[in-house]
Amino acid sequence: VNLFWAIDRMKQSFAAGVAAGESVDQLKDRLDREADQIHDEDVASCRAMGAFGAEVVPADAAILTHCNAGALATAGYGTALGVIRGAVEAGKQVAVFADETRPFLQGARLTAWELVRDGINTTVITDNMSGALMRQGKVNFVVVGADRIAANGDTANKIGTYSVAVLAREHRIPFYVAAPLSTIDLKTPDGSGIPIEERSSREVTHVGGAQLAPDGAGVWNPAFDVTPNHLIAGIITERGIFRAPYTESLARAFDMAGV
């Protein structure tokens, strides 16, 4: 939801400029400045998330992440990857396992690329390996991003996040969500109110030019799933880490931020 939040902010700035009788050039300048400010705030916000998150990352961390919540999905530092970067900057030993994240492979293609470029020890796994990895004691921390967080902490994120959260709980591994306050949607009471987009079957049946599944088979391709709040150890924001009961703690977060 924070994309819509940014669009709303641009629209409000535009409306304020129109109300003040600004010229077209003045309106363009105003929107440029607003966009730059959103960008700078986003980087600052991710760095703050990284600093808060680093505190709960183990000193010798083996971190699993899902999808891409990195520099490529934000203005330049990342939310979940911001926490990983924050832990590295704080001097912790960090190894990362990146779920490849079918069908679109954001983990293999984006997350691994970002982390390798940063010189962080990165291992790609297929999504179905996370359970076996946890059972072997090879993961001690999970952090993911979020597309939308309901008022009670239920979190929509890339398909597969929910499975990871259940598996983390089964193995008593803390599962954290990292996201800016702009991702929290207080108007949505819980996860049942979050619509889940279904995407083209071709994303599942084809990779590059290769057809993976036969004609005649159906495909189910939801873009997201919802992780219920009870599986989440904490929500890492630019204002600190919020914990259950989330309805209270997230409302407080907004009061603190003066939103």
Which are the catalytic amino acids? 147
Single residue of 31, 113, 174, 186 touching its own copies by CB under 8 A: 113
Residue pointed to by tokens 């359970």: 131
Residue 225 binding its own copies, by CB under 8 A? yes
Question: Closest by alpha carbon to 158, among 236, 85, 103?
Answer: 103
Sites for its own copies among residues 23-52 (CB under 8 A): none
Residue 212 binding its own copies, by CB under 8 A? yes
Residue 140 binding its own copies, by CB under 8 A? no
Residue 90 binding its own copies, by CB under 8 A? no
Residue pointed to by tokens 């800016």: 180
Q: Compute CA distances 180 → 1, 31, 44, 123, whole Å.
A: 10, 22, 11, 27
Residue 200 binding its own copies, by CB under 8 A? no
Residue 220 binding its own copies, by CB under 8 A? yes
Residue pointed to by tokens 């998330």: 49
Question: Closest by alpha carbon to 241, among 191, 185, 174, 171?
Answer: 174
Q: Compute CA distances 138 → 43, 105, 156, 241, 243, whole Å.
A: 31, 22, 26, 25, 25
Smallest separation (angstroms) from its own copies to the CB of 257: 31
Single residue of 9, 39, 92, 109 touching its own copies by CB under 8 A: 109
Residue pointed to by tokens 């183990």: 58
- Residues in contact with its own copies by CB under 8 A are 66, 97-103, 105, 108-109, 112-113, 115-116, 121-133, 135, 159-160, 162-164, 166-167, 170, 204-205, 207-210, 212-222, 225-226
